[in-house]
Amino acid sequence: MPPKNPVLKYWKGKGKELLFFCFGIFMVLAATTETQANPKVIKTSIYHFPPFFIVEKNHPRIGLGLDLISAMNDVQSEYKFETVETSPRRRHDMFQKGLYDVSLFDHVNWGWSSENVETTNIYLKGGERYISSNSTQKKTDFFQDISSKKIGAILGYHYRFAKFETDPQKLNKRFDINLVTNQEQIIKQVLANRIEIGVVTETFLKKYLRENRENADRIVISKNYDQEYNFVGIVRKNASISALTLEKIIYAVTTSPKYKWIADKYGIHWHH
């Protein structure tokens, strides 16, 4: 009988352990490959809210929010964020119907219930300013009480001066208000003296003035805000993605040098 080989005896004893180890590695690799091949689809709402989302007929969808969503898909492979088009007035109804689970550049006070959603931490601060034309002499307290003036605002938006009411009939009863669908219309109406005061987001106003420098001296901007807000991500409770995971993905984008161009493009500073 040939002598027993101690090396062979050792590996025979370890055979099952080695088999299970290799099987475990295979399963991990298979799961990783499957995740990359079949990411979880996260329906994310977009509606016309320049410069975050520019959603207009017969035009490509562009904006800060679209650039962020593209980068969010780029930095990870477990989730795929797909956009669902809505409007300021329809978005809550569509959420209730389960047509999307995530809303970016949002605020919990804009009609959301803490019973149904969770939020990320703040990733961008903003606000809405009052503007008027400088064609007539304005008193220093011109913007302090706007309720007696003709106002331009966006249909479906929540404003502090209106106590966050969005119903156009109720707003028309309380104010002399012209509701439109985009902020550039408001600025044009101010410049044409069709309205006395317009309410626009500060981020959009900065972008507009960078692109239309000839109008900078024609517009008076209030020192006070209609409202200051802290942008968060809104996530449906028990959705395929948690608010914490969404927050980590946003953080990965907003802290990466690779995506610094997004902040530079829109003249913003991410909040961390």
pLDDT at 3: 54
Helix H or strand E segment including 177 = strand 176-180
Distance CA 121, CA 114 (A): 14
Distance CA 210, CA 212 (A): 6
- Domains of the chain from N-terminus onward: 39-125+230-266 (3.40.190.10), 127-229 (3.40.190.10)
Give the global pTM: 0.74
pLDDT at 32: 46
pLDDT at 136: 63
pLDDT mean by block of 10 residues, the chain; 272 residues: 54 54 51 65 94 88 96 98 94 96 93 90 94 78 90 93 94 96 94 96 91 94 91 96 98 98 92 92
pLDDT at 15: 56
pLDDT at 270: 96
Peptide bond into 3 cis (omega under 30): no
Q: Could you tell me whether strands 79-85 and 150-154 are parallel, antiparallel, or unpaired per DSSP bridges?
A: unpaired
